[in-house]
A and B are shown apart, each in its own frame.
Chain A
Amino acid sequence: MAIKPLCHSQKSDLEQGENLGEGASLFFSKWQDERVAKPVLSLNQVTIRFAGDSGDGMQLTGDRFTMDTASLGNDLSTLPNFPAEIRAPQGTLLGVSSFQLHFADHLVQTPGDAPDILVAMNPAALKANIGDLQRGATIIVDKDEFTTRNLTRVGYLQNPLEDGSLESYKIHAVPLTSLTVAALSQLSLSRKEAERSKNMFALGLLTWMYHRPTASTENFLKVKFSKKPEILEANLLAYRTGWNYGETTEDFSVSYEIAPAKMPPGRYRNISGNTAMAYGLIAASQRSGLKLFLGSYPITPASDILHELSKHKKFGVISFQAEDEIAAIGSALGASYGGSLGITTTSGPGVALKSEMIGLGVMLELPLIIIDVQRGGPSTGLPTKTEQADLLQAMFGRNGESPVAVIAPSSPSDCFAIAMEAARIATTYRVPVIILSDGYIANGSEPWKIPEVDSLPDLHVEFAKSQENFQPYLRDPKTLARPWAIPGTKGIEHRIGGLEKADVTGEISYEATNHDLMVRARAAKVAGIEVPNLAVDDPTGEADVLLLGWGSTFGPIASAVEMLRNNGEHIAQAHLRYINPFPRNLGDVLKKYSKVIVPEMNLGQLSMLLRSQYLKDVIGYNMVRGLPFTTSEIVEATMEVLHG
């Protein structure tokens, strides 16, 4: 494989590159204008995976490529995948961090099954990811990292770049590290510091390959390193050198274009699930007029919601980092008692700790939002991997008959709407609401059509007013909610607590029939929460088999349904965003289809609920690998049911 040495034109570009700042972008666009010599192929879609050591900056690289891709108008979906260790031993399989991005000129539902192109920054990244590639895929590796030491560390006895084992792939072995170091030699950086910019070299190369715009990443770097001019210069130089490398070397003979996807008109941005959740909560606070109070304890993969909300104090947001999970939800419940929108964010182990306080919320009948960004369990489990195995915990993980509302977003951007829905349900029915997000949609991202503020739901709430003979447990006949009676309101002073309440008066009551009445009243209140009917997508009306999912599996299921229909199969799809209560028409929908397949990233928790509530023997399709389903897995499972 011939790699051109730094050619003359590139060298002169580098010299010009010393003039950073305003002129830099102009200079860079000049490169783009000159890019006419190599053929350009059009593609409909591409899946790229960036993989490297957890210290190699792969998440940042993936994020930047995603932003540049989003702004070009492609539809996309991402899958960050990283180890729980912040810096696992360098160069080991354990330490491999990756970021997968699927983008296309059409609707994208998943981060892609198999990458078309893998960028592997070291032998560990190659070894950990090669199994996911199909033959013919493109692999770009940092050749410099393929040393005997690094190879043996991950169990390669021979160099796979040389032993022919990668013959069925298109390999680009690029001396990424040494090219980056050479390009930065004019700066007074140590070799180690210079090497850190190699991810920007890789990003520049891929940016060239797929004709992504460069201005946004350049601006991003300028802001990020505004106080470190030397590091900024290094990153910009590496980025441009990578771009230039693609343009000038023979190794890369073709580049690709992917036309923008046809999306409904409007203004768009790319958004991750955790950011969308935080924005949805702020929007709920604004639309309800309630102060947003977040009580939270850091936990992967939910902490980014705490981080995001903490940035927005000018919305009156109070973000309180508590001493533990219990204090986090306790403070949220206390704030809710005082008339704020009380929220706590966590993951499965945190929900376990919060159980008793959720039960108190049920008893006090106060609004409370609990966001569970699920991860692999049980116990500490797989902190950075996704799973849907907290469903039954959310439903039943408390002492006594303790019903709460349970809802689940179906994509990263849906987290915005689901947060507002949680606020509607919590404040209307005075009940704890658990949102089941998960690591996949929390960290994954997609383009989002930004809603008009006026189109957001009105969440206005009425508190109990000053009155005589106030009855704290007198229910609204329609919603069965009790009054939200906040301290500071004259004449309605009253005492509440975790002991059983007498109907209407709210006084302590150990009376048998009252307890039975109150248990049923709390259950009826949650069962009566108004939720939209379940929409079924069954275009021909001839389907006999329904694919029914909940939460983050929407993308892979929808993608599989599309593929099945393209192959002439009749298949219906429906997706549950509301789990407690279920949509009113769910029973009828289940009856209509002779076979119902329920894919879940657990061992059949929704299946269990459906069987017990509707006596429908649904067919579970269950995997718990810490990763979302691929489209082809669901296609295969469905074909099995369709045709045996």
Chain B
Amino acid sequence: MADITLTKKDFTSDQEVRWCPGCGDYSILSTMQSYLPELGIERENIVFISGIGCSSRFPYYLNTFGMHSIHGRAPTIATGLAISRPDLTIFVVTGDGDALSIGGNHLIHSLRRNIELKILLFNNRIYGLTKGQYSPTSEQGKITKSTPLGSLDTPFNPISLALGAEASFVARTVDSDRKHLTETLRAATAHKGSALIEIYQNCPIFNDGAFDMVTDKETKGGALLQLVHGQPIKSETHGLVHSGASLKVVELASVPESELVVHDAHNPDPAYAFALSRLSSSALDHVPVGVFRDVERSGYGSLVNSQVGEIIAAQGAGDIGKLLNSGDTWSVD
């Protein structure tokens, strides 16, 4: 691996990028292109598979193998590829509509099975490509073209959903924070099974400023609760303490540092990560970012291929002549 020396340029395709000016997708793309050389994997062994939506144009702009598939179904295609080609590194790029609405079923089952996929969920809390309808992560009461009197749906919390689906790796980061996004990508690619990264992503056209609380210099320091394994969970102004069976945000000044919850991403009990996930509300006043959960569990593709390998080791490779002649047979002279 050490002898592979690629640069950001190697991962940049010749296609003109066609997102709206100011779209959060630009910074995610640029961060990804900068990060990929660090992986030390040849371009031909990396595949990006996406569904439909603004985010799903992502594969066109990376000089790797890529497929822009159909709405919500990227995890299914990636699943077949991951199981049959365990030699590849596969990213799924999706959005809140693609992954959580039309493709919700595939997302939860990919996570449950622990398919070897790195799923990047660009969450802008809106349908952008269809020009501005509310999405499954839009806050309740949102006024959009399809909800002129305000949306009535309770939104999904993607982190909670993933944890409920038995995900072995779940993280959250923010589009404009290149450093944090890179660190999160690094942790996800180091993880063996499925990894879900929710990326807060600003849509400047249909939902501008949705994440100002966590991107504005004024507010982000106090809003972002940093999840760093082995470190106390805190923002610049607040920290996290145990409160009965749950967790509570308190002002840092009100408790000694020793009482703060020390983050354990490897905690086998998903209830801990779930409690963390419940701290972020639509209002975004306290938002944990970083790796919520990172536990070891066998990847599905690896299990499938071991099963095949073991039976061949035990019984030898199949002989088609023998198979056709198996069971009750008889001869006609």
Contacts and interface: CB of A to CB of B under 8 A. Distances in A.
Contact of B332 (A264, A328, A332, A491): A264
Interface stretch (A122-130, A265-273, A404-412): A265-273
Interface in A233-288: 260, 263-270, 279, 282-283, 286
Contacts of A320: 79-80, 83, 304
A333 interface: yes
B130 interface: no
A283 B318 CA distance: 11
A318 B43 CA distance: 26
B237 interface: no
A301 interface: no
B162 to A, nearest CB: 16
Contacts of B312: 313-314, 316
A453 B325 CA distance: 10
B290 to A, nearest CB: 30
Interface stretch (B23-31, B56-64, B147-155, B183-191): B56-64
Nearest to A341: B84
Given A331-B77, A451-B324, A487-B65, A339 B109 contact: no
B269 interface: no
B320 A293 contact: no
B59 A495 contact: yes
B253 interface: no
Interface residues of A, number: 72
A266 B324 contact: no
A252 B68 CA distance: 71
A556 interface: no
Most chain A CB within 10 A, of B83, B312, B325, is at: B83
Contacts of B331: 265-268
The size class of the interface chain B forms with chain A is 35 or more
A637 to B, nearest CB: 35
B76 A334 contact: yes
A624 to B, nearest CB: 33
Contacts of B83: 293, 318, 320, 331, 335
Contacts of A499: 68
B327 A497 contact: no
Interface in A330-372: 330-340, 342, 356-357, 359-360, 364
Contacts of A293: 80, 83-84
A375 interface: no
Interface in B296-331: 304, 307-308, 311-312, 315-318, 320-321, 323-331
B147 to A, nearest CB: 27
Contact of A269 (B307, B318, B327): B327
B193 to A, nearest CB: 16
A315 interface: yes
A293 B81 CA distance: 10
Contact of A492 (B44, B67, B320): B44
Contact of A333 (B77, B325, B329): B77
28 contacts: A67-B328, A266-B331, A266-B332, A268-B332, A269-B324, A269-B327, A269-B328, A279-B323, A295-B76, A313-B308, A318-B83, A318-B84, A322-B109, A326-B73, A326-B106, A330-B75, A330-B77, A331-B83, A333-B77, A337-B67, A337-B80, A338-B80, A342-B80, A360-B69, A452-B321, A495-B60, A497-B59, A497-B67
Interface of B: 13, 15, 42-45, 47, 49, 52, 59-60, 62-70, 73, 75-85, 87-88, 105-106, 109, 304, 307-308, 311-312, 315-318, 320-321, 323-333
Q: Which 4 A-B pairs have the closest CB atoms?
A: A330-B76, A497-B68, A334-B80, A331-B80
Given A322-B79, A338-B84, A360-B70, 11 more contacts: A282-B318, A313-B307, A315-B320, A330-B76, A450-B325, A487-B47, A487-B85, A488-B88, A492-B44, A497-B59, A507-B15
